[in-house]
Amino acid sequence: MILSVNGMAVAVGADAPPEFVAARELLRQRAVEVGLLDAAVEDEAEIDGAIEALLEKEVATPVPTEAECRRYYEQNPTEFESGDLVHARHILFQVTPQVNVPQMRARAEEALNTLLAEPDRFAAMAAELSNCPSGEQGGNLGQVSRGDMVPEFEKALFKFGASGILRDLVKTRYGFHIVAVDQRIPGHRLPFDVVQEQIAARLRSRVEEKALRQYVCVLAGQAEIEGVQLEASESPLVQ
């Protein structure tokens, strides 16, 4: 596909949207116009560098104020909460294509019944029976947060009230698990000071994106473009 920007033919590759190609050509031509790039240059890295210099020169992106950051923090409280954590252990009875599943389940249930009666034997039985490398550390999984484990396992760990050795086996794609939840650490809201820079970067990125879109609209409003439709405006006050 070929499109034209101010009479300059530009090839569009299979992976590049024509709108992006047209916008980049507008920016390249503007960089040439203001003396940041020689029109004969074809090196992509040099063109990209000139475009970056152009945007830095002509596209204003104000730094978000502390008040703006704090307002975002107050309006989006769930974005800045540390997740719940649990300290957990498990014993895995792995299910593979060669395994007799009913026999494996029966073996796991027998071990679970033993541990419910004698919980102090967990580490020893993990070392003896578990098909997970954690068995060498008594089945210890350390601190686990949401998203660390497969959904079926996570559901059991974070179920309300789950504590100690769970009374039911947990079935996952890997097999049957005996699970012990040893400690819960509830999530909490991170202080504003900790996340202020993160918020500022996020808000600045939004401003930069909007300013760039507006800038390209103005360039498009002053250009002759064929082969693709770009949003255009003759006014710099594009909304």
* Tokens standing for residue 182: 């040893």
d(CA 74, CA 27): 38
Do residues 52 and 72 make contact, with C-beta atoms less than 8 angstroms apart? no
Q: What is the tens place of the pLDDT at every residue in 93-107?
A: 999 988 899 999 999
Query: Contact 52/46 with Cβ under 8 angstroms?
Result: no
Write down the pLDDT at residue 239. 36
Is 204:63 a contact under the CB 8 Å cutoff? yes
Residue 238, pLDDT above cutoff 80: no
pTM (predicted TM-score)? 0.51
Residue 122, helix vs strand vs coil? helix
Residue 175 has pLDDT above 60, yes or no: yes
